[in-house]
Structure 1
Amino acid sequence: SCILTGRNHHSNGVAAVMETATGFPGYNGRMPFENGMLSEMLLEQGYNTFAIGKWHLSPAEESTPAGPYTRWPLGRGFERYYGFLGGETNQWYPDLVYDNHSVPQPKSVEEGYHLDEDLVDHAIQFILDAHVNAPDKPFFLYHAPGCAHAPHQVGKDWIEKYKGKFDMGWDDYREIVFARQKELGIFPPDAELSARDPDVPEWSTLTDQQKALYARFMEVFAGYLEHCDHQFGRLLEALQAIGELDNTLILVIPDNGASSEGGVNGAFNEMSSFNYYWETMEDILPKMDQLG
């Protein structure tokens, strides 16, 4: 809500996520219509406006086929929408909405379906539909992929590329990443590595089973993230193909860091945390090969 309105999340009524709205001021889960969205402003200025992927800005009770649709993307200045209205969805079997109606996924998992690929397919199609008919008309695309939010699901070929890449553990890996960021000029030469999180155990204190599991979690996440990055590359290639890449302002905004749903051990199924059950190592280890 802050990105699309430029306002504080309390001002938008979403100081807490929609599912935990309390009804109190600033926490009611209903964004005031007078808090104009960028999509509404640009639409008035002659832009095409497209939203792709995660929405999570309409109350749960208003996110059904019964409506009202006023807080759905098409009610807030977007001309076209394809994605999921909630905060997350299954990458293989998503709950999809096209404009103002639910739709089935276009092909099965057996036929090669993955949500982030599907989202980029539609983002490209929306842009091409407009460009073919009005090549000089500007557009605004708000693209919020399923990645890297849970569930972390991607094909095994993407995951296996990272087999063994994190066996050194998170303590050594954070130093490797920090040094690389300095080499790339992202961090200044005099930057200092931040202190370790005291709630995260030192890698050297873990058992062999814990190390194997946590390394696998990192392999899955890395494969999942690279797959998403590849889809973003497809979108840039499409812009380049129609001669609009150098004429497009691209802003990449990350999420707010690590998720707490997995608890200390991580989770095979994050729904367990929503039911106040924190999975143990004994719960997860037998399912390690099913991760992803």
Structure 2
Amino acid sequence: MLLTVEHGAAGRRGLNASWAQVGPGVGTILSSAVIGLMTATLDNDQFVGWGWRFPFALSGLLIIFGLILRRSIAETPMFQDLQRRAAVIRSPVGLLLRRHRRGLLAAASSRVGPDVLYALLVVFSITYVNQIDGLSRRVILTALLAGSACGVIMTMLYGWLSDRIGPRPIFAAGLLCGIPVAFAFFPLADTRQGPLIVLIMAAGLGVHAAMYAVQGAIITQQFPPAIRYTGASIAYTFGSLAGGGAFAPLIMATLFRETSSTLAISLYTLAALAVSGAGMLAARMPDGDDTDP
């Protein structure tokens, strides 16, 4: 993400950041296509016995490709300039915690709402829809394919738009539109109508794209170049872990088991979106690249 932002011209950094953000959507499309192929060619016992492992084995090739790609890319011009001026900070974490706590919290909170909404639509949805009588596994796979395709397209569109109107209004629109998605998903899934499930998935991942597309631009702008890599990395990781994004599917499953209601899951998603909203109110959106460390 940081490489795509800092390698680009100032007027294209929103679009550049969105390129990195299409990865999960493309990954979901590829994995859904592979799983769809496996379910179409294997019976249930074969799929449960070994078929589900095949997509995970293929993902190992992508890890190798990513390592090779990263080694072939030079450091950004901005970081090279810091090296030439001997301005690279030896203890960036200390400076980050002393002088940029507000930016760190704002950046981390931007992860919470989008992560939880994504977990609802892409992860927990599979568990929920598969336990509905009369619906086949292919319905949710089709919905994931359609929704992910919509998300990829909208991510690029929102990235382009953020270079013209700024990332904050786009993120705010995504937060507000995420609320009805969180409460509409389960009633529409309960209709057992495949087209409605595909519709809410496409709409939901399109809304998620509004937040996710500009997230990279928002996070990187909270920190000056000298500590940007450290700040963005910590915020990205801490926001996912502390906000529940990494554990959101487990939290949702627990809420559903304990309450026997989907309302608790929708309220949990609403709370996560509210956390990101509070973070956006605190976020600084400076002009240019250099903010005083």
- TM-score, normalising length from structure 1? 0.26
Determine which structure has the larger helix proportion and give its number. Answer: 2
Determine which structure has the larger strand proportion and give its number. Answer: 1
